[in-house]
């Protein structure tokens, strides 16, 4: 006797990618179920790097900063003329000048999963585990596939620890399925999606430990190129560190399959290699290792990220690469961040189902960039350093150059979506500092009513709404007020017909940003349509100490007289920009992907 | 049948003052009991202003910022030539350039009490309520009074809601008692302590409401002087505001007693006065008021703050004044902040019992300043504005002048303790920017090991330990290292003999602040005695973006070659300063109030 159930979205896999998606959907009120094959969540090890972009505006940052370690500097060690290694240079760990948080955070995957699990628990949601999918089928009925309210995906799952009286088999009928089940994704294989790319022969080992050492850079990211091999040090929360250690010995490979054979290596053996690489510095052998693993670097991207925009794959399920640049978990969470709001808009009937095509278009292009970057980066890390005897080796300058030019990429700050229905660059010149298709730049504005400074990213929260940012200029000027009153009427004409149940604020969060100074501004000079609450009116002025704020228009490249209307997508990326006399452009922009108004 | 019990400290009164003390003692592991006569904590109204100094470094700030409203600007309204009032000027609400948080927070008293109650609950402590004291006696046995481990105070209490089987009378034998039971303090009266000072005839009313209004400054602090009377507006959390309204009508007084008779006024009547004062702006009469009260301004200070340093009074129990400058709750919490660590040191046997005399010396001097300030401030608020017809009225310039010169005082930033055994100004010139007896100035340093920026106030936490801040200069310089190694030996000689159980870190938290740059610093160049952990070594350098940090030595007025040793008291106030060759001075400083080593 199988149980039958119906959900809007079934998420398969409760790692950071799956939990990010689930939590976002739960918070949007979607009927979602998440299953995972593991009986409990991971307790140690696994992914741990959180990039600056991931720290921005997902609502995670408070706990990440409280619980995680911060990496601000990177130290580069190379062969010393006296033997062993020596410090060559220390530089900032991140090179992304617009980043709100100019550092990486490290925190073990279990702690990150906890953030989502706690958030879900507050909404009475949890993971069904251990539970494995055994079959997935998607209806071929065209009409069903076009109807966002149909349940065309059928997934049969086995609940390995059913509650009393519950059958262990469940047939789940889902409107949409998200496969976030990792590099060996069952969903991907079941859907027949191929991975494209290749494997290198670089073998690396990873050990997590608490070090006793005289090495002075154990709390910085360290890139160590020694004649004995390469090692990367990543400090972690508490006193812990992670060492990535290159294995030149191919003895860890199974000669038959070419795969890693973990039984042939121990963490102590890995650690001995690290001790050799770190000389003349000493690091004591710890009593135990918190976690360890071995891997061969491979770079692969899935040929498709969805089947019929009904079953999707995300995270490691659709892209795998080397872990050393700390990208994996971030890429996966960003996949979910990109997908979740689109599912919500389609499920609510606000967007046409074709919006979901933009997921693959945006995220697969990103994944390919990631893989191309990773190939170059992994090679640099895995090549021996140049020495007098070995002129073919990699130089410090080459490593440093790569480290810095890829900074925008590795921080996630440079993510740039182009060529989809939700990115329209027509009026890019009106805000030359805000790149359409990139995330909104951090900047501090004052709230007009109380001069309290706000970081705009804290206003642009992931609440599934489009943000309508009206840069209104000087509202103390009577002529400008006339212009704004006219604009408000026109904007009402654009936004109101799309308002669910007549409530514009369900779909659009409207805020204004003026140029009047805090001593003079009268917030009720802003037309009522643009201020649904006193907290929605902002000004571009310095704070009471004159230390922060006041640079917004200039930084964004917006003219103080002309103003601009900036539309930010629910995931924080700039969707389009329009001039005050360009409300027709906005009408067309929304018509491109929203349901018929 | 009365129950008999023994506690280290009995706190009477569970308002913010009593809870602050209780929580601090609980966290220090002291056996403490707190009782309150109210069956439940306050739900609305009461005190609500939290000053910049209170926001600094008590561990409260995270929740206060999450839950509270922030006041950044103050707006001044005066009679308009067209009738009614008009905006004269807006200025920053706080004038204390060194404040870490340049604004006030407003949050109702119940929410503030919750912060302490939650913290106590995490240590399995709660308030015994409703419970009233009925008698208090202090032993007159000199030997007992001198012995910190004796229980010379006997308090009999009535538990008004005893648990099953418990007697309702309890005889509590306490080593120390803290009376934090408000303006009508039972403890104060029972101990025969007199209040000194007088009462004015200014009558004010207070209403809390959610306003519907076209008044543009409802989210700023407003000082309104109209010809119809004075009004002060304090925005509160959410959409709420508090109005302080001057009543010119003496009808609210009981002609017999001269006291307020609340039955003669209603909140609606108060509100009508406010409506008149606010003209030409309109504010709709709300359906209900969240809270309201009436008071006559009086300024009084208790003649003593303790009896034999065994029973203390704190907060409103020892000083009362007008509420409009938002001082009361802050003064009370600062009383507790001053007292709690001293009790802990005496109870642990680390300090001589005479240390407790510094509580009255420091806090009564402050209370007298507070009362003197309040007399002037209350008068300015309660006097009519100057107009053509009334040349005797107060001018805007007078109000503004007072507002700004008292800024250091009202923010709490200027609190300055002098003339006690725990403040020694001998070497003040070594750190001209750090005033001995004032709180340590906020400043950002980088952690040497990972270049992570830290606000020094977040390192100087209220954990009952003295902070030993060694400004070590350039540890990259070999000569400086020699000097530091010698200093470390001498400091070991000063601190180790006082170490409880041989563990220096129980009583002293040692940190170093160097001048070597982040690209070069080797943290293990600092002598081991000064770095009990890698996280204890800091440098005065800019962060990776070059935006913050790097100004510490200059701001503190410390010479980069000479260095200095700064001793910070457990409550965050600078206790003394010494040169590298002045460890003898430190030995004497600690000998002044600590137990025999």
Q: Return the pLDDT at A597.
A: 59
| A137 contacts chain B (CB < 8 A) | no
Tokens 């569970």 map to which residue? B14
Roughly what angle, to the nearest 10 degrees, separates helices B478-495 and B583-593?
20
Partnered with residue A70 across adjacent β-strands are: A105
Higher pLDDT, A293 or A314: A314
Q: Please list every residue in chain A whose beta carbon sits closer than 8 Å to the beta carbon of residue B70.
A: 450, 452
Partnered with residue B231 across adjacent β-strands are: B224, B245
Q: Do B523 and A235 touch (CB under 8 A)?
A: no
Across the range A368-391, mean pLDDT stands at: 83
Q: Return the pLDDT at A194.
A: 96
What are the tens digits of pLDDT across the range A439-481? 999 999 999 999 999 999 999 999 999 999 999 999 999 999 9
Q: Return the pLDDT at B150.
A: 97
- C-alpha angle with apex B406: B405 to B412, nearest 5 degrees? 135
pLDDT greater than 80 at residue A147:
yes
Q: Compute CA distances B556 → A327, B491, B513, whole Å.
A: 42, 22, 12
Q: Compute CA distances B367 → B21, B147, B319, B381, B441, whole Å.
A: 18, 29, 6, 20, 23
DSSP state of A520: T
Q: Return the pLDDT at B282.
A: 97
Instruction: Provide the shortest C-alpha distance from residue A452 to chain B (in Å).
Output: 6
Residue B188 designated active-site: no
Residue of A236, A439, A498, A569 marked catalytic: A236
Q: Compute CA distances B342 → B17, B24, B104, B243, B337, whole Å.
A: 16, 11, 28, 39, 9
| A73 contacts chain B (CB < 8 A) | yes
Banded pLDDT at A335 (limits 50, 70, 90): very high
Where are any strands of DSSP class E within B440-588?
444-447, 453-455, 466-473, 508-514, 537-539, 564-568, 574-578
What tokens were used for B434? 């750090």
CATH architecture, domain B199-296+383-410: 2-Layer Sandwich (3.30)
Q: Do A450 and B72 touch (CB under 8 A)?
A: yes
The H-or-E segment that residue A574 falls in is: strand A574-578
Q: Return the pLDDT at B57.
A: 65
How long, in residues, is chain A?
A: 597
Region(s) of chain B under CATH 3.30.9.10: 199-296+383-410
Residue of A8, A16, A36, A48 marked catalytic: A48
Residue of B8, B36, B48, B424 marked catalytic: B48
Region(s) of chain A under CATH 3.40.30.20: 428-591
Domain A3-48+108-194+303-371 CATH superfamily: FAD/NAD(P)-binding domain (3.50.50.60)
pLDDT greater than 80 at residue A201:
no
How far apart CA A588 and CA B7 sit, in angstroms, is 74
* pLDDT above 70: percentage of residues in chain A: 99
- Domain B428-593 class, CATH top level: alpha beta
How far apart CA A325 and CA A53 sit, in angstroms, is 14
Nearest Cβ partner of B216 from A446, A519, A522? A522
Q: Return the pLDDT at B259.
A: 77
Residue B323 designated active-site: yes
Q: How many CA atoms lie within 13 A of B467 on its CB side?
A: 24
What tokens were used for B581? 């060759």
What are the tens digits of pLDDT across the range A87-146? 999 999 988 889 999 999 999 899 999 999 999 999 999 999 999 999 999 999 999 999
**Pairing mode, strands B444-447 and B453-455:** antiparallel
| A212 contacts chain B (CB < 8 A) | no
Q: Do A518 and B73 touch (CB under 8 A)?
A: yes
Banded pLDDT at A33 (limits 50, 70, 90): very high
Instruction: Provide the shortest C-alpha distance from residue A313 to chain B (in Å).
Output: 37
Residue A48 designated active-site: yes
Question: What secondary structure does DSSP assign to A181-246, as a single string?
Answer: --TT-HHHHHTTPPEEEEEEEEEEEEEEE---B--TTTTSEEEEEETTEEEEEEE-STT-EEEEEE
CATH code assigned to A428-591: 3.40.30.20
Region(s) of chain A under CATH 3.50.50.60: 3-48+108-194+303-371
Across the range A214-220, mean pLDDT stands at: 97
Question: What secondary structure does DSSP assign to B253-272, as a single string?
Answer: B-TTT-SB-GGG--HHHHHH
Question: What secondary structure does DSSP assign to A152-173, as a single string?
Answer: -EEEEEEESSPPTT--SEEEEE
How far apart CA A587 and CA A593 sit, in angstroms, is 11
How far apart CA B248 and CA B241 sit, in angstroms, is 22
Residue of A nearest to B65 (CA): A452
Burial annotation B508-535 (CB, 10 A radius, 16+ → b, else e): bbbbbbbbbbbeebbbbbbbebbbeebb
Q: Quick one: how far is CA A306 from the chain centroid?
A: 19
Q: Name every residue whose Cβ is closer than 8 Å to that of residue B499 and which is 6 or more positions away in sequence.
A: B506, B507, B508
Query: Is residue A20 within 8 Å of residue A336, measured between CB atoms?
Result: yes
Q: Return the pLDDT at B158.
A: 96
Partnered with residue B554 across adjacent β-strands are: none
* Residue whose C-alpha is closest to residue B241's, from B211, B281, B277: B211
Q: Return the pLDDT at A492.
A: 97
What are the tens digits of pLDDT across the range A64-89? 999 999 999 999 999 999 999 999 99
Q: Return the pLDDT at B583.
A: 97
Q: Please list every residue in chain A whose beta carbon sits closer than 8 Å to the beta carbon of residue B94.
A: 544
How far apart CA A24 and CA B152 sit, in angstroms, is 60
DSSP state of A356: G
Region(s) of chain B under CATH 3.40.30.20: 428-593
Query: Is residue A316 within 8 Å of residue A183, measured between CB atoms?
Result: yes
Give the residue from B221, B450, B525, B551 with the most A CB atoms within 10 Å of its CB, the best one to mutate.
B450
Banded pLDDT at A46 (limits 50, 70, 90): confident
pLDDT greater than 70 at residue A57:
no
Across the range A225-236, mean pLDDT stands at: 93
Q: Is the ipTM of this complex over 0.90?
A: yes
Q: Do B220 and A451 touch (CB under 8 A)?
A: yes
How far apart CA A40 and CA B45 sit, in angstroms, is 46
The H-or-E segment that residue B52 falls in is: helix B52-55
DSSP state of B212: -
Q: Return the pLDDT at A408.
A: 78
| B220 contacts chain A (CB < 8 A) | yes
Q: Do B102 and A544 touch (CB under 8 A)?
A: yes
Nearest Cβ partner of B450 from A70, A89, A214? A70
Across the range A360-365, mean pLDDT stands at: 97
A-contacting residues in B 488-547 (Cβ below 8 Å): 518-520, 522-524, 534, 543-545
Q: Please list every residue in chain B whose beta carbon sits closer than 8 Å to the beta carbon of residue A220.
A: 449-451
Q: Do A450 and B94 touch (CB under 8 A)?
A: no
Q: Do A545 and B97 touch (CB under 8 A)?
A: yes
Q: Return the pLDDT at B263.
A: 82
Residue of A58, A77, A202, A244 marked catalytic: A244
B-contacting residues in A 290-329 (Cβ below 8 Å): none
Q: What is the pLDDT along chain B (597 residues), one digit of tens a residue?
A: 789 999 999 999 999 999 999 999 999 999 999 999 999 887 776 777 899 999 986 778 999 999 999 999 999 999 999 999 999 999 999 888 899 999 999 998 999 999 999 999 999 999 999 999 999 999 999 999 999 999 999 999 999 988 887 889 999 999 999 999 999 999 999 999 999 998 777 788 999 999 999 999 999 999 999 999 999 999 999 999 999 998 877 777 777 777 778 788 899 999 999 999 999 999 999 999 999 998 887 889 999 999 999 999 999 999 988 777 778 889 999 999 999 999 999 999 999 999 999 999 999 999 999 888 888 888 887 788 887 777 888 898 888 888 887 887 888 898 999 999 999 999 999 999 999 999 999 999 999 999 999 999 999 999 999 999 999 999 999 999 999 999 999 999 999 999 888 899 999 999 999 999 999 999 999 999 999 999 999 999 999 999 999 999 999 999 999 999 999 999 999 999 999 999 999 999 999 999 975
Residue of B323, B453, B527, B570 marked catalytic: B323
How far apart CA A96 and CA B515 sit, in angstroms, is 27
Q: Do B72 and A219 touch (CB under 8 A)?
A: no
How far apart CA B109 and CA B121 sit, in angstroms, is 18
Across the range A185-200, mean pLDDT stands at: 93
Q: Do A544 and B219 touch (CB under 8 A)?
A: no
How far apart CA A549 and CA A544 sit, in angstroms, is 10
A-contacting residues in B 379-398 (Cβ below 8 Å): none
Across the range A567-588, mean pLDDT stands at: 97
- Helices then strands, each counted (H, E), chain A: 16, 25
Residue of B100, B129, B188, B236 marked catalytic: B236
Q: Do A523 and B216 touch (CB under 8 A)?
A: yes
């Amino acid at each position: 006797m199988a149980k039958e159930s119906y959900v809007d979205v079934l998420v398969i896999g409760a790692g950071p990618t799956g939990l990010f998606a689930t939590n976002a959907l739960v918070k949007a009120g979607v009927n979602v179920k998440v299953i995972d094959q593991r009986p409990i969540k991971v307790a140690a090890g696994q992914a741990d790097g959180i990039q600056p972009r991931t720290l921005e505006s997902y609502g995670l940052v408070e706990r990440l900063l409280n619980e995680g370690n911060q990496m601000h500097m990177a130290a580069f060690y190379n062969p010393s003329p006296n033997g062993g290694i020596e410090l060559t240079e220390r530089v900032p760990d991140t090179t992304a000048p617009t980043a709100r948080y100019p550092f990486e955070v490290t925190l073990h995957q279990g702690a990150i999963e906890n953030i989502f699990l706690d958030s879900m628990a507050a909404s009475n949601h949890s993971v069904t585990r251990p539970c494995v999918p055994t079959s997935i089928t998607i209806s071929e009925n065209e009409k069903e596939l076009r109807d966002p309210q149909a349940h065309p995906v059928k997934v049969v799952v086995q609940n390995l620890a059913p509650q009393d009286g519950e059958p262990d088999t469940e047939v789940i009928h889902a409107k949409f399925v998200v496969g976030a089940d990792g590099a060996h994704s069952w969903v991907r294989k079941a859907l027949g999606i191929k991975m494209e790319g290749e494997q290198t022969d670089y073998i690396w080992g990873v050990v997590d430990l608490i070090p006793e050492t005289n090495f002075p850079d154990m709390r910085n990211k360290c890139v160590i190129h020694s004649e004995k091999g390469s090692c990367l040090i990543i400090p972690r929360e508490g006193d812990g560190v992670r060492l990535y250690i290159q294995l030149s010995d191919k003895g860890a490979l199974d000669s038959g399959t070419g795969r890693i054979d973990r039984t042939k290596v121990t963490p102590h053996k890995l650690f001995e290699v690290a001790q050799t690489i770190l000389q003349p510095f000493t690091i004591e052998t710890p009593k135990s290792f918190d976690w360890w693993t071995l891997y061969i670097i491979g770079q692969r991207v899935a040929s498709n990220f969805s089947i019929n925009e009904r079953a999707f794959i995300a995270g490691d399920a659709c892209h795998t690469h080397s872990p050393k640049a700390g990208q994996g978990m971030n890429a996966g969470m960003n996949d979910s961040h990109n997908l979740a709001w689109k599912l919500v808009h389609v499920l609510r009937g606000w967007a046409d189902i074709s919006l979901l095509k933009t997921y693959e278009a945006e995220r697969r292009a990103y994944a390919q960039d990631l893989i191309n970057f990773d190939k170059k980066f992994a090679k640099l890390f895995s090549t021996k350093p140049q020495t007098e005897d070995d002129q073919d080796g990699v130089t410090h300058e080459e490593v440093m150059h790569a480290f810095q030019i890829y900074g925008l990429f590795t921080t996630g700050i440079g993510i740039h979506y182009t060529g989809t229905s939700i990115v329209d660059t027509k009026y890019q010149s009106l805000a030359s500092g805000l790149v359409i298709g990139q995330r909104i730049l951090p900047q501090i504005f004052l709230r007009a009513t109380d001069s309290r400074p706000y970081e705009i990213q804290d206003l642009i929260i992931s609440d599934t709404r489009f943000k309508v940012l009206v840069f209104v200029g000087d509202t103390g000027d009577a002529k400008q007020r006339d212009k704004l009153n006219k604009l408000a009427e026109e904007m009402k004409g654009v936004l109101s017909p799309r308002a669910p149940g007549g409530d514009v604020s369900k779909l659009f969060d409207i805020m204004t940003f003026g140029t009047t100074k805090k001593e003079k501004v009268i917030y009720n000079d802003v037309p009522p349509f643009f201020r649904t609450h006193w907290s929605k009116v902002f000004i571009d002025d310095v704070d009471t100490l004159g230390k922060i704020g006041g640079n917004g228009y200039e930084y964004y490249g917006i003219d103080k007289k002309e103003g601009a209307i900036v539309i930010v997508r629910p995931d924080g990326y700039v969707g389009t920009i329009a001039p005050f006399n360009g409300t027709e452009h906005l009408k067309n922009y929304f018509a491109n992907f929203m349901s018929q108004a």
